[in-house]
Structure 1
Amino acid sequence: MTLAKELFDRVWSRKTQLGLAVRVTVAATAAYAIATALHLLLPLWAVLTSIIVTQMSVGRSLKATRDYMLGTIGGAVYGGAIAILIPYSGELGLLGLLVLAVAPLAFVASIYPNLSSATVTAVIVLVLPSMHHADPMASAIDRVSEVSVGAVTGLLVSFLVLPSRAVRQIRASAARLLDLIAEAFTELLAGLTRGRDNDALHRIQDGIGTAMVGMNTIGAEAERERSARLSGGPDTGPLLRTILRLRHDVVMIGRATVVPLPIELQTRLAAPLSEVATAIALFVRSAASALRAGAGAPAIRPVHLALDRYADEVAAVRRDGLIRGLPGEMAERFYAIGFSLEQMHQNLCDLDRVVGEWAESTADKSARMAE
């Protein structure tokens, strides 16, 4: 029982991926059934197309369907036109047509990867008639029909069977990024007084970079859904831009904290820096939790207070003349830390506002469902 529960918990923790597996299965079986009922020549292409266009989110399925259909229609028209307008006989003639079809379409696909299906379609339209002694025009029509059945089936399944909206996914993606940013920020400020664990920091930074790419992709899918009126929610742009700026803040702080502060400054600034690190990390992690739950933004006042106390201590350090004796490079790093923290403060205020907007959107949606 314990093993079964653990297995269930692991599978259930991947609900999004599990939903995709169900949708792909339904789409493939439905496409095959429809293609067979319509007596299409090759139901296989309908099945494969339905699998290709059934993606993790509705927005991604929309893009995959559009791209695959455009490539298929373009390839079918081009391949059919070549086969009809340029008569050929024998294998050498067919080989020449293949070169004429593949070369330009492969070049176009290298520039526009979303049209890569055009090359495959043109080859099928050219080669299949020679295998079955069919008409090239009929082959092109069959290919478009098979792909259309698969594309429409996959798209409908994406809408109707356990639909996954990119707007929901972006909450989880943004929250994961915020957790990574909080972890990196804590490690960087701690490095000012105890030295840095560069291996741990590189691991965190790599994770942030990978997560940023994923979040931007999901953001584009969410905007595609919103523009098609398939989902609501606030504009994803402010959230993505705010997190990107926080990422830049972490990079700037990383450059300013390459080496620890001199021992005199460590003694004076260790306590306020620790308070700043604790307050900001707690706020960022709480904002991540709020995004996941659709709750309101956490209190940002502790961040204001911690940064004010740090600024007061920096002013006292300067009055006491501890900065005058520093080497030029160290003094520049010291001032760069203060500038970076001030920039981060402004961006944290933006994060506070953005998380509040997403919480209001969730509350409005709950109210509409209650009505």
Structure 2
Amino acid sequence: MILSRLEVLRRWLRARTRAYRVQLALTLRMTLAAILSLILAQALDLPLPLWTVLTALIVTQMSVGRSLKASIDYMLSTVAGTIYGGALAILIPHQSEWSLLLVLFLAVAPLALLAALKRNLNAVPVASIIIVLMPAIAHTSGPFDTAVYRVLEVSLGVIVGFLVSFLVLPAGGHRLARQEAARVLDLLAKVLARLLPGPMADVEAEELRQLYDRIGQALGDLTVSATEGEHERSAGLSAEPDVRPLRQTLARLRHDVITLRRIVRGESLPEPLQSRLTPKLVEVGRAGGEYLRAAGIELLARRLPPSADRLEAAFVAAAAEIAAQRGEGLTRGLSDDMVGRFFALSFALEQLRQNLRQLGREIERSARAQ
């Protein structure tokens, strides 16, 4: 009994670890970066190891590409803010309260404007303020020594944080992008599998709206990770293929699925068109959902795309039915609105078919690029 419970617990822990391996890896990297930066700062006898530890935590990000960008941006911000703040503190005496307020205004206002215009330099005002105020608050040496130590402390933190991100369970931007792409495919599969004409309950409609929101959020995360992957490749840290074409294909699939849902959930076509089309659309939804779900699995595993035989057969059957109805003249007596919906349905199905084929090509490209 106890052994069976331990086995259940072990499986649960393994499943949770796999589900949150990226987050757990980031936790480990941040912890190691903080500890190592403190040890090195104390070994080098830096006056304020706090800045080294905080910098190491700031530049230790989810992916190597994000850590690289954070390291460059934070280092540039620190150097620029330190030079500017040090120059103000040296050139303008500020022993009195009013002179200190003047120097503080000059240290913040121009750099705050710069940070607003260049968001990657948002740490510039902070560095400038530290150089101006730290000697008076901490009773340390003058602004020149404070500036030198500030750059040394931040530089050490940047080096430690980036090396830990690169060496300890590194997560590349392209890999994270593929994980987000697989999440998008799973969500699209859930939507497409519900491609059933007819009325929809309010609960189901709300669930679909939530799915659409989650798809949009996942696409946004995918875009960020893909950009970080390109930063890694530009720096020679990765040889992974560009995932931005995959992101574009997924965005088109999202548009196709939403369009198709709106068409089939609108006003029903008159009989016998509706009853003859319904089974074909249901099969397209089921086959498409099955294909998208399998495609996400193969994409994560870097394997070739799944078989599309059932999916192609479903599209062929739907296209043949639409062509047959047109050939029989069943659309001649329809209103202009119904005719528009009928042809929009045909066009949406063909667009979905073409983009699913493109998805297969993108998955194959990813698999062969290993």
Counterpart residue type for residue 171 of structure 1 = R
Q: Distance in 2 between matches of 1:296 and 1:133?
A: 62
Residue 37 of structure 1 corresponds to: 43
Q: Secondary structure at the match of 1:304?
A: helix
Identity, % of aligned pairs?
A: 44
Counterpart residue type for residue 294 of structure 2 = S
1:12 deviates by 4.4
Q: Distance in 2 between matches of 1:114 and 1:91?
A: 32
Residue 366 of structure 1 corresponds to: none
1:33 deviates by 0.8
Counterpart residue type for residue 340 of structure 1 = A
Counterpart residue type for residue 143 of structure 2 = P
Residue 104 of structure 1 corresponds to: 110
Q: 2:235 aligns with which of 220, 228, 234?
A: 228
Residue 293 of structure 2 corresponds to: 285
Residue 198 of structure 2 corresponds to: 193
1:276 deviates by 1.4
1:354 deviates by 0.9
Report if aligned partners of 1:195, 1:260 keep a CA contact under 8 Å in 2.
no
Matches within 5 A, 1:122-133: 122-131=128-137, 132=139
Counterpart residue type for residue 42 of structure 1 = L
1:141 matched to 2:148: yes
Q: Secondary structure at the match of 1:342?
A: helix
Residue 187 of structure 2 corresponds to: 180
1:11 deviates by 3.6
**Residue-by-residue CA offset, 1:317-355 (whole Å, 9 max, x unaligned):** 223333233332232222112111111111111111111
1:176 deviates by 0.7
**Residue-by-residue CA offset, 1:22-58 (whole Å, 9 max, x unaligned):** 1111110110111111111110000000001001111
Q: Distance in 1 between matches of 2:218 and 2:64?
A: 20
Q: Secondary structure at the match of 1:208?
A: helix
1:323 matched to 2:331: yes
1:133 deviates by 5.2
1:298 matched to 2:303: no
Unaligned stretches of 5+ in structure 1?
363-371
Q: Secondary structure at the match of 2:369?
A: helix
1:237 deviates by 2.1
1:71 matched to 2:64: no
| C-alpha distance 13-311 of structure 1, shift in aligned 2 (>3 A) | closer
| C-alpha distance 298-183 of structure 1, shift in aligned 2 (>3 A) | same
Q: Distance in 2 between matches of 1:225 and 1:275?
A: 42
Q: Distance in 2 between matches of 1:257 and 1:107?
A: 51
| C-alpha distance 133-169 of structure 1, shift in aligned 2 (>3 A) | closer
Q: 1:247 aligns with which of 229, 249, 254?
A: 254
1:309 deviates by 1.4
**Residue-by-residue CA offset, 1:50-106 (whole Å, 9 max, x unaligned):** 001001111111011111111111111111111122223212111111111111111
1:17 matched to 2:23: yes
| C-alpha distance 219-73 of structure 1, shift in aligned 2 (>3 A) | same
Report if aligned partners of 1:52, 1:64 keep a CA contact under 8 Å in 2.
yes
Residue 52 of structure 2 corresponds to: 46
Matches within 5 A, 1:270-281: 270-281=278-289
Q: Distance in 2 between matches of 1:51 and 1:278?
A: 46
Q: Distance in 2 between matches of 1:118 and 1:100?
A: 13
Counterpart residue type for residue 345 of structure 1 = R
CA RMSD of aligned residues (A): 1.8
| C-alpha distance 324-114 of structure 1, shift in aligned 2 (>3 A) | same
Using the size of structure 2 for normalisation, the TM-score is 0.92
The number of residues matched between the two structures is: 360
